[in-house]
Amino acid sequence: MQDIENDVRCLIAEVLEKDQAEIKPDSRFIEDLGMDSLKALEILVAVEKKFKITIPEQKLSELKTLVDTVNVAKEFLAAKEKANAG
Partner 1 sequence: MGYPRVVITGLGVVSPNSGVGKEAFSRAISAGVSGIRKISLFDTAPYKVKTAGEVKDFDPQAVLGRGGLRVLDRGTKLLCCAVKTALEDARINISEENSRTIGIAAGNTLGSLQSICDFDKVALSEGPQYVNPSLFPNTVINAQVSQASIRFKIKGFNVTISNGFSAGLDALIYAANFIRLGRKKIILAGGVEEFCEQTFIGFYKAGFLSEAKEGKPELSCPFDQRRNGAVLGEGAAVLVLEELDSALQRGARIFAELKGGGTFFDGSRIDKYKRGGRGLAFAMRLSLEKASLSPQGIDYLSCGANSTAEGDELEARAVREVFGKSPRMPAASCLKSMLGESFSAAGALQSAAAVCAIEKQIVPPTLNYQEKDPLCDVALVTEKADSRRVDNVLINAFGPGGSNTSVVISKFTI
Least Å distance between CB 49 and partner 1? 5
- Specify the stretch interacting with partner 1 by CB under 8 A; choose among 1-9, 41-49, 63-71, 73-81: 41-49
For the window 49-68, what string marks contact with partner 1 as x by the rule CB under 8 A?
Answer: x----x--------------
- By CB neighbour count within 10 A (0-12 exposed, 13-18 middle, 19+ buried), where does 46 fall? middle
22 makes contact with partner 1 (CB under 8 A): no
SS3 30: helix
Which residues does 58 contact at the CB level (< 8 Å), separation at least 6?
Answer: none
